[in-house]
Amino acid sequence: MRKIMLAGLLAGMAMGAAGAAAYQADPWTTAAYDIGIKKNADALRLIDSGQFDVNFQTDEGYTLLHRAADAGNLEIVKALLARGADPNLKSALGRTAYDMASGVAVKAELARAMHAPATASRGALPGADRAAAGAGAGNGSCAAVVAEKVNNGRTPAMRPILRARDDIWYNHPDELALLLDDCVDANGKDDTGATLLHTAASRNRVDAAKLLLAHGASRSARDRSGNVPANYATSPEMKALLGAASAPVASSGPAGTASEARKKECAQKYQADAALCSDSSCKMRANSHWAQCLKTGRYW
């Protein structure tokens, strides 16, 4: 009886091992999985093993380049393109890897691969307004941002600098660098009247601040509240990088033309708003509301 049970157990183990081997036998599926979880070394070993074509498409039409783009895996996107992956292949739904890409850097890399051979002007994208992306764009990042279908209602002209602000906010210095190298002015102002250095200071993004300064960002630029970036610095490293804070200077616009009654009302609203703030970003927004109130009479 024991021999029969043992034989059955061994047979079951053999079948399980065979099943596991069969399950793991598809190198393309394994590579796609590794790409998704960014086990890039393992993925590249399979890609270079010669067990499948780099442009192999699934029944749905997806390639490894689609997978890498969707995962925002820039290293693998570059590696696949270098190995001959075709960025123009479409899925059964008509989507290219660019259409599925996550992140400015990935989109820019795919844009170059898709259009560099066919266009004399770098950074051109289907449906993108090249002028809006910035004439002479060098790496396609701005054009990629301008062409994004999901843009939160931002106008094409403002999308690059607002994406740069997002990259500071969410701590993506590599993507910020691409935008600065392409078309974004380090001293440009966003829709709140702040420069990117103001945002870096308020978010305590030291790496972003260093990058902006290397691209010529001004330490003395003032936002609508009359504050320089150093006024929003909180950490010792950021304070050392930006220098001494400076008293806010009222601009000749809102503060200079507001009536005394409006100034008093706006100041009261600002003080009540700022009292609820627990960080410099909140205070920065309160300052922006205060400046708006001085100009228009409306705090919110």
Give the model confidence (pLDDT) of 46-104 as tens digits: 999 999 999 999 999 999 999 999 999 999 999 999 999 999 999 999 999 988 988 87
Which of 5-9, 203-207, 212-216 is least confident? Answer: 5-9
The gap from C-alpha 76 to its chain's centroid, in whole angstroms, comes to 18
Which residues have CB under 8 Å from 24's CB, separation 6+? 30
What b/e sequence results for 199-220 when a residue is b if at least 16 CB atoms lie within 10 Å of its CB, and e otherwise? Answer: bbbbbbbbebbebbbebebebe
- 91-148 pLDDT, tens digit per residue, is 999 999 988 988 878 888 888 888 654 433 333 333 333 334 333 447 788 888 888 8
23-102 CATH pick, 3.60.150.10, 1.25.40.20, 3.30.930.10, 1.10.3720.10: 1.25.40.20
Give this prediction's pTM.
Answer: 0.54
Which residues have CB under 8 Å from 108's CB, separation 6+? 139, 140, 141, 144, 178, 182
- 248-300 pLDDT, tens digit per residue, is 876 544 444 456 767 777 787 787 777 777 777 787 888 888 887 877 767 76
Q: Tell me the domain boundaries of the chain.
A: 23-102
**Among candidates 122, 118, 34, 124, which has minimal Cα distance to 80?**
34
CB 87 within 8 Å of CB 103: no
Q: What does DSSP assign to residue 14?
A: H
For residue 195, list its beta bridge partners: 189
| Residue 243 confidence (pLDDT) above 70 | yes
% residues pLDDT > 90 (the chain): 47
What b/e sequence results for 63-79 when a residue is b if at least 16 CB atoms lie within 10 Å of its CB, and e otherwise? Answer: bbbbbbbbbbbbebbbb
